[in-house]
Amino acid sequence: MSSMLLIMLFFVSQQAVAGPDSKKFPELTGHVVDEVGLLGAETKAEIAQFLTIHEQQTSNQIVVAIIESLDGKNIEEYATALFRHWGLGQ
C-alpha cells in the first residue's frame, strides 16, 4: 500500500503577492515548519514528536507548514508545489 502524504498549511497573512513565483519556499527543517513564528518551542516539539511516532507506525509522512503567504496560488497548488520542492512522499 502506498504511503499517504498530508501537508497541513495554515494561511496566516492576507498580504498581496506579486505573482506565484515571487517567493521561495521555506526550508524543510522537520515535521513542523513555522515560517511566521506562530507556535512556541514546546508546542512545535509536541507536534513534531506526535508526527514522528505516527510516521514510524504508519510510514505516512505529515508535515505542518505555517506560512506567511500562498504566493497567489490556491492551497492545493501551493501544497503540491511545496511537497514536490521538499521531496516528500515515499
Is residue 4 predicted with pLDDT exceeding 70?
Answer: no
**pLDDT recorded at residue 24:** 84
Whole-prediction pTM: 0.70
Domains of the chain: 5-86 (3.10.310.50)
Place of cell 509536541: 46
Is residue 39 predicted with pLDDT exceeding 90?
Answer: yes
pLDDT (tens digit per residue) in 49-61: 999 999 999 999 9
Which burial class, exposed, middle or buried, applies to 37 when counting CB atoms under 10 A from its CB (0-12, 13-18, 19+)?
A: exposed
